[in-house]
């Protein structure tokens, strides 16, 4: 079973995705990494969201950063948006992700903070997993 789906809109987002996936590996949390653009391949994205077994989605996007919002529009599972510094210091991406309409929230972490997205996803999973919760306590105690 895949616990976390990490979706990036372009291979240029891979550096930020690796910050998340390395931490997920450290915690031994299963994940699936996909490159699917919300703009260039919306049908493929919706199909992936609908069939995914993931409990949490991490979406990394720059510029207009529509990816996290599109994912949130098609699932009731938690979506964590990671704005990428692609232009304007990443502020355009941050504002695009954080300003979701009422009823379609996206949890948002700081610009290029893939690691924080992974921690937040692990915290969500740890609500029902005592072993993961213990690992988080140890991690924070470092």
What confidence score (pLDDT) does residue 84 get? 95
Q: What secondary structure does DSSP assign to the chain, as a single string?
A: ---EEEEESSGGGHHHHHHHHHHHHHTT--EEEEE--TTT-HHHHHHHHHH---SEEEEEE-TT--HHHHHHHT-SS-EEEEE--SSGGGHHHHHHHH-PPTT---EE--TT-HHHHHHHHHHHHHTT-HHHHHHHHHHHT-
Evaluate if pTM is beyond 0.75. yes
* pLDDT for the residue 36: 97
The tens place of each residue's pLDDT in the chain, 142 residues long, gives: 899 999 999 999 999 999 999 999 999 999 999 999 999 999 999 999 999 999 999 999 988 889 999 999 999 999 999 999 988 888 999 999 999 889 999 999 999 999 999 999 999 999 999 999 999 999 988 7
């Amino acid at each position: 079973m895949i616990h976390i789906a990490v979706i990036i809109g372009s291979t240029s987002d891979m550096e930020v995705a690796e910050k998340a996936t390395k931490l997920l590996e450290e915690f031994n949390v299963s994940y699936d990494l996909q490159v699917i653009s919300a703009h260039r391949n919306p049908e493929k994205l919706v199909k992936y969201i609908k069939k995914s077994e993931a409990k949490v989605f991490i979406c990394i996007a720059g510029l207009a950063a529509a990816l996290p919002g599109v994912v949130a529009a098609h699932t009731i599972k938690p979506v964590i948006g990671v704005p990428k510094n692609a232009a304007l210091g990443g502020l355009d991406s941050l504002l695009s992700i954080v300003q979701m309409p009422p009823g379609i929230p996206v949890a948002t972490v700081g610009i290029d903070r893939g690691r924080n997205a992974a921690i937040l996803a692990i915290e969500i999973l740890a609500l029902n997993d005592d072993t993961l919760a213990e690992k988080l306590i140890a991690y924070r105690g470092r």
